[in-house]
Amino acid sequence: MRNIKLIIEYDGSNYLGWQRQPQGLTIQEVLENALEKITKEKTVVIGSGRTDSGVHALAQVANFKTQSAMTTIRLQKAVNSSIPKDIVVKSAEDVDLNFHAQFDAKSKVYTYKILNRHYHSALERQRTWLIPDNLNLIQMQKASELLLGEHDFRAFALSKLGVKTTVRKVLNISLQQRAESLLELEIESSGFLKGMVRLIVGTLVHVGKGKIAPEDFRTILQSREKTHFVRSAPPWGLYLKQVKY
């Protein structure tokens, strides 16, 4: 028996997220179907975590077990030739049988991209969130830094179902202007709640527009309750950038 670790990049625009769903196509289903045809085995691909419908990944990590003797290079090429072009296996390697892509993860890094100008991008329209209003980057940075450390993120969770606690620890966070009109929020945490990054971004945009101040953002975080300023950013600007082990 072998345990194979995969690094996967995907454009989530045409999929209902990572995890198999009865009502539509997912990344996990595409990969499992391809691997079953290649290895002739029933295959379960374990991802480091779920990404929601429409969310992208630069380096999702997954693992699966197989009896196949195929080399990892041949396996990678076989999978990539069997799946749609909006998904690609960037690497495949043998790892310890005990490695688990989800349970062994120490932290994850997500990036959210905002296009801050008055017209959309024809090429990046499904990969950035267009905000035509002027945004105050300094105020947004001040508010984002309030998230560092351990907090109860209940106000920034779409759902509390299936979690023992809504307390999470943010290890790093940055908000930077990458190009003339492109803003990128990067956040690393030991764990994320469902919808957490998108709700944070949506609320930070209200700070940037001047609708709430950084202190109001702090109050929302500490209150653990949603207000009408806690809005979810759309999924297409969000990327799973890295999983750390």
Helices (H), the chain: 27-39, 72-80, 137-145, 196-208, 214-223
- Asked whether residue 90 is domain-assigned, the answer is yes
- Threshold 0.85, pTM exceeds: yes
DSSP letters spanning 117-167: SSS--TTTTTTSEE--S---HHHHHHHHHTT-EEEE-GGG-S--TT-S--E
Residues 77 and 45 in one domain: yes
- In this structure, the answer to whether residues 111 and 53 fall within a common structural domain is no
Nearest to 193 by CA among 228, 237, 147, 138: 147
Q: At what angle do helices 214-223 and 196-208 cross, to 10 degrees?
A: 150
For the chain, 245 residues long, the average pLDDT of each consecutive 10-residue run is 98 96 95 97 96 97 97 98 98 98 98 96 94 96 97 89 88 93 97 95 97 96 89 97 98
Among residues 52, 104, 133, 216, which one is catalytic?
A: 52
| pLDDT tens per residue across span 83-130 | 999 999 999 999 999 999 999 999 999 999 999 999 999 999 999 999
Positive or negative: CA dihedral 185, 210, 207, 143: positive
Q: Is 133 a catalytic residue?
A: no
Residues 220 and 164 in one domain: yes
CATH code for the domain of 84: 3.30.70.580
**What per-residue confidence (pLDDT) applies to 161?**
64
Q: What is the pLDDT of residue 224?
A: 87
pLDDT at residue 160, as a whole number: 65
Residue range of the domain that includes 48: 2-95
Q: How far apart are CA 136 and CA 97, in angstroms?
A: 49
In this structure, the answer to whether residues 133 and 194 fall within a common structural domain is yes
